[in-house]
């Protein structure tokens, strides 16, 4: 669990300052989930402490799309940042 929490903090520190805090979940196996919602749309980032995160997005119209896993220590993908910022109702600085 400590590794997943460390990875989650590292991930959050690399998002734009305009992004609101996500809902945070903790699974029995130690996985940390970060979730942003706006209306029926939502995005979730999952971190299990192995240095990799996975993420998925639902547009609220029944379309759910998982994306490829990525290393936590890389800059988050631009598309991921854009979706999170959009869900927060803000703009990237």
Name the pLDDT band for 93 (thresholds 50, 70, 90): very low
> What is the distance in angstroms between the CA of the first residue and the CA of the last residue of the chain?
32
Instruction: Return the minimum-mean-pLDDT range out of 23-32, 64-73, 82-91.
Output: 82-91
CB distance 84 to 91 below 8 Å: no
- For residue 44, pLDDT over 50 is answered with yes
* DSSP H or E stretch at residue 84: helix 78-87
Q: How large is the greatest C-alpha to C-alpha distance in the chain, in angstroms?
A: 36
3-class state of residue 86 by DSSP: helix
Name the pLDDT band for 7 (thresholds 50, 70, 90): very high
Higher pLDDT, 14 or 93: 14
* Domain-wise residue ranges, the chain: 2-87
């Amino acid at each position: 669990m400590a590794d997943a929490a460390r990875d989650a903090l590292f991930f959050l520190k690399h998002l734009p300052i305009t992004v609101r805090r996500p809902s945070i979940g903790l699974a029995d196996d130690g996985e940390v989930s970060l979730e942003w919602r706006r209306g029926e749309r939502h995005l979730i980032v999952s971190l299990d402490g192995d240095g990799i995160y996975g993420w998925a997005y639902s547009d609220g119209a029944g379309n759910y799309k998982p994306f490829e896993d990525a290393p936590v220590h890389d800059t988050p993908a631009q598309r991921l940042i854009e979706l999170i910022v959009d869900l927060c109702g803000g703009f990237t600085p």
